[in-house]
Chains A and B, each alone.
Chain A
Amino acid sequence: MEHRTGVLLSKKEREFRRSYSDYHAMVLNALYLRVGNMEDAEDICHEIFVSYYRKFDEVRDARSWLFGAMKFCISNFYRKKAGADQATIDINNMEDDINLAFENGERDLRIIINEALEHGENYKDEKDRILFDLVAINKYTYEEAAKELGLTARQAFYRYQQVSRRIVDYLNKRGITRIEDLL
C-alpha cells in the first residue's frame, strides 16, 4: 500500500496531478496536430498519462518522457490505422523533413532558432517553457495559457515577455542581431 501523508493524497498523487495539469495541454495539442482529430488525440493522451502515472516514480524528465511516449503511441496509432509497416512511419523524421524545406543559410538559421527554443537557460522553470510553447507555438491567448498553468493573464504576459527577451538575447549572441532583417 502506498505511503499516504495523513488521510489525504499521497505525495505521488499530488505530484502527478500537478505534472498532469502542467503538461496536459501541451501533450494534447501535439497529439491533435499530429493525428488530426480530437477523439483520437484524447484516446492517445489518456493512454500516455495512464502509463505516465504507472511509471511516475521512475521518470526523471517529464517532458522528455512524455514526448518519447507520444512518438511511440503515434507510431502505433498510424500502424494500426493504416496497417502500415513500422519502418514507413518515423515520427523522429518529421522535424528533419521541415528542416529540409529550407536551404543552406535558411536551414542553418532554422537550426539556430531551434537551439534557442531548446536552450534550457532561456526558461526560468518548466512552466515558462510550457507557457512559451502554448502562446508562441500553439497560439493560445494569454488568458487561455494562464488558465492551463494556474496563472493570472498578467503573470502569463509578463513571463512570456521575459522568455521572449531571453530567446532574442540568445539569438543575438549567436549572430542574429536584427530579427527584422530576417522577416
Chain B
Amino acid sequence: MKKTGHEAHQLEQLLGKYRFTRPVPPEVRDSIISAKKDRYLSVIKTAGVFTAVQGAFASIYFALKKTGIGFTIVKVIAAGMSVLTISIGGYYAANALRDRFFPGAENPASDTSRPDSGWVDEIMLFDGRIIRGAIISRGEPYRVRTEGGIMLIPRKQIKAVRPLTGERAPAR
C-alpha cells in the first residue's frame, strides 16, 4: 500500500525540498523491525528485571503487534468471553430464580414432555412388547412415562408409535 493522497504527496515533496526527510535504507528498516523483541529483552536483562514471564509476554506482545490485527482479535475474544460469562451466569440465575419461586416448573425448552395434555402413546417394539405411556422425549433413548415409572427405550428397538386418544397419561 503506497497510494498516497494528493495532500500527503505534496506535503512529502515539500518536506523533501526543505530537507526534513531523512530516509532510512530498506535493509536497515528491516533490521530495526525484525530485531525489536530481542533488543527489548536485552534492555530488560541489562536493567536486571528480566524474568521468564517477561520473556513470554514480550514474545506474545511483539508477535501480536507485528500482525496489527492481534489486539483487535484479543479484544474480540475478551468481549466474546465476557458475553459468554454473562450469558451463562444469567442462565443459572434464571434457573435459580425459577426453582425458588416456581419449584415444580421445568424448563419448557429442554423438555418435550406433555405432562398435562392427557396424551398417551402406544409404543410397539420389535420384540413384540407394547408399552403405553407419555413420551417425554424422543431423543436417544426415548423417555416414556409409564404407570411403573420412566422408561428409557433405545430408538432402534422401537417398531412403531401410535398415539392413543381418550386415555389419561400416567400420573407423574
Q: Footprint of B on A, CB under 8 Å?
A: 7-9, 13, 17, 20-21, 24-25, 28-30, 32-33, 38, 42, 45-46, 49-50, 53-54, 98, 101-102, 106, 109-110, 113-114, 117, 136-144, 146-155, 157, 160-161, 164-165, 167-168, 179-180, 182-183
Give the A-B contact count at a CB cut-off of 8 A.
147
By the criterion CB–CB under 8 Å, are A138 and B68 in contact?
A: no
Q: How many residues of B contact A (CB 8 A)?
A: 48
A167 proximity list for chain B (CB < 8 A):
11
Q: Nearest-CB distance from A182 to chain B (Å)?
A: 6
A98 proximity list for chain B (CB < 8 A):
19
Tell me, in angstroms, the Cα distance from A9 to B19 when the chains sit together: 43
Q: A53-B47, A138-B23, A139-B24 are in contact. Are A46 and B42 (CB under 8 A)?
A: yes
By the criterion CB–CB under 8 Å, are A113 and B15 in contact?
A: yes
User: B44 within 8 Å of A by Cβ?
Assistant: yes
Q: List 30 A-B contacts (CB under 8 A).
A: A9-B54, A24-B32, A25-B32, A25-B33, A28-B32, A30-B22, A46-B39, A50-B46, A102-B18, A136-B20, A137-B22, A138-B22, A141-B1, A141-B2, A148-B32, A149-B65, A150-B64, A153-B68, A154-B1, A155-B68, A161-B8, A164-B5, A164-B7, A165-B7, A168-B11, A179-B11, A179-B13, A180-B10, A182-B14, A183-B17
Selected contact of B58 from candidates A17, A49, A109, A164, CB within 8 Å: A17
User: B126 within 8 Å of A by Cβ?
Assistant: no
By the criterion CB–CB under 8 Å, are A109 and B18 in contact?
A: yes
User: B53 within 8 Å of A by Cβ?
Assistant: yes
Tell me, in angstroms, the Cα distance from A151 to B71 when the chains sit together: 9
Tell me, in angstroms, the Cα distance from A45 to B61 when the chains sit together: 20
Tell me, in angstroms, the Cα distance from A30 to B64 when the chains sit together: 25
Q: A38-B31, A182-B17 are in contact. Are A9 and B57 (CB under 8 A)?
A: yes
User: B91 within 8 Å of A by Cβ?
Assistant: no
